[in-house]
Structure 1
């Protein structure tokens, strides 16, 4: 039987370790079910594809002189003749549809997917959080979903949005990061005493809302006060996204006025060096989903300091895994309690969730790509 040909859309923030994490995890899954083709024609994604681990034979530039869309359509036509299944995989990441422009884009995408369905292409949307505001955006997403064979969101709150829009085929697939495996027990750590704590925060969710940014800094100061009152440890300020570096430096300068155990991690935390940083941290505080979901893989307790109304994807995922108590709203954080004795127990409980979610993901991909 001829292997499936899988066209994989990889348009993401190019300097975001969290995006690399989920796209790389999905790539590793797709390789098990066919030959993967990634559009590498845009130079801005060159480093992103390198971090993802895209092989030369998976690059569109090595496969065809045509565009990504033209290549997919041509291969779909050929597939009808030689009986080869062609698939189009898309949807990864956070999607907020709130404007007429986004609704129009959805309708144009629906027209394209309708053509693919005529050519019997298997269309898969997976790995996304979604928010739909307004009837027009809800209706446009509902129309688009008609032409999607497998429609998966990554949390129950996104599923609720879709069901309210009339998308009955929507199902939940665990966040793709759960399926990314790291080498276990390859880093030293003092598990009986808190010695290193990491902060990894973004201010970009607020754009230029100085009041909100100040609230975030107040919450971070509260954390530093608590840590220094209860533990003899180091606090490291890090970042997983290049865009976050300036705010990380600002936080470091701000905290250094009050405390002498503050250090700045100059290099971006990536999948390649995460073991060095998260592997030596006992606790990681962050308002980035995949800083939290990467840190626990290396034995660090992930605690989210988030803006609940603006960061529903984090709320949804932590609710689904049964750990909403690991999240604190920045405007309501009055107290926090960390027990050195509970860290290993909580991290192990999250790893048990990871094991179950990885099994679920594997079963979902078997179902998607079964002959």
Structure 2
């Protein structure tokens, strides 16, 4: 992105506007939004975070303090944003995750609102930042509008290699923000013989193929376990666990924070994670488990996000092959230390982004964007 000679306001009273609203039942959404919020909280800024319809248990899973104020009303949030920016007291950070643009009037309207907001904040001297984004969409006009929105940002970082192709622009790429957390010290010592399986409840599963894989894993002394990271996957995990005689870590009536800790506990004992959910794979990688992606042919989300940073093996929803080989011919567990080294490389790459992010956002310093912008 082009550098700018504009300077950020050095006033410490500037407030950062952010959003934590996402899928209320998805631990991955909490993980990445909490990571970005943590970066913001390293500065001197107060935070006004849009929460929408997120339930209290969802919000309780975030690391927040008295400097973070949750606002559920979109009208109130927008009014507060403009009240602050008219007094030159606003910066804005777009939450990590997917942004889908398209040719519909509603989608283009949303992009135009984003453009007005970020242009106004930047004109007022505030920082306009986005990290961990993922762009998907279609339509010539929609793409051009979104490209203009992206061009206004001081820092705009995507988490995958596909986003730049979709937008038709050069974009900065870095790992997904879930890689920011290091759980190495919490991992189980010694042999890690569990295989975490976490599957989307809205996708077909080749049960007989999975049954054969489970039998092969057990013949190798490995212990499959179903782990729910998205609450709506509970029903399928429960049914598959019963059918295949596999233990489960279901969400059920647990709070978001409780299920987050239970899931992490399962990954801490895993040598492999088998999933078609992006953040199930990353949670596993965080804890040293080798990722095996169950690929949906209609989506490149998993490969475009993970393959720049880790060795990713793949299978299909029928589980008939692992990469191009039969399951029995493949060494399931990774070489000792391989996954940990890949996870550390991703964390180092994110740390570089974080330093740029903080130089731009820390309102207690007089920072030149020409020095700090990618």
Q: Which runs of 5+ in 1 are unaligned?
A: 207-212, 257-261
Whether the aligned pair in 2 keeps the contact of 1:5 and 1:34 (CA below 8 Å) is no
Which residue of the partner structure matches residue 93 of structure 2? Answer: 89
1:29 to partner: Cα distance? 1.0
Question: For residues 220-246 of structure 1, what are the alpha-carbon distances to aligned partners after superposition, in whole Å with 9 as ceiling and x for unaligned?
Answer: 334213213x32333211210111111
- Which residue of structure 2 lines up, in the alignment, with residue 368 of structure 1? 360
Aligned equivalent of 1:236, options 201, 221, 225 = 225
What is residue 172 of structure 2 aligned with on the other side?
171
* 8 Å Cα contact 2:309-2:346 kept in structure 1: no
How many aligned residue pairs are there? 341
Partner of 1:150: 155
Alpha-carbon offset, residue 197 of structure 1: 1.7
C-alpha distance in 2 between matches for 1:223 and 1:201? 14
User: Any idea what SS the aligned residue of 2:107 has?
Assistant: helix
Offset of residue 41 of structure 1: 6.2
Partners of 1:71 and 1:90 lie apart in 2 by 16
Q: Deviations over 1:129-181 (max 9, x none)?
A: 1112221321221232243332221112112222x2xx45x321321111123
The answer to whether residue 283 in structure 2 is matched with residue 282 in structure 1 is no
Match of 1:188 in 2: 188
1:113 CA drift (Å): 3.1
CA offsets per residue over residues 106-149 of structure 1, 9 Å max, x none?
Answer: 12332333333443332222211111222132122123224333
Q: TM-score, normalised by structure 1?
A: 0.81
Give the root-mean-square deviation of aligned CA atoms: 2.8
The equivalent residue for 2:30 is 20
CA shift for structure 1 position 7: 1.2
How far off its partner does 1:93 sit?
0.9
Deviates more, 1:66-75 or 1:87-96: 66-75
Larger relative CO (CA 8 A, sep 6+): 1 or 2?
2
Instruction: Note the 1:195-344 alignment, pairs <5 A.
Output: 195-204=193-202, 206=203, 213-215=204-206, 217-228=207-218, 230-256=219-245, 262-267=246-251, 270-310=259-299, 312-324=300-312, 326-330=313-317, 333-334=320-321, 335-336=326-327, 338-339=330-331, 342-344=334-336
- Counterpart of 2:67? 57
- Compare the two structures and name the one with the higher helix fraction: 1
1:353 shift after superposition: 1.9
Which is worse superposed, 27-36 or 266-275? 266-275
Residue 69 of structure 1 corresponds to 78
Q: CA offsets, 1:237-296, max 9 Å, x none?
A: 12101111112112223323xxxxx11223377432334211122222111111111112
Mapped partners of 1:123, 1:158: distance in 2: 19
Match of 2:18 in 1: 8
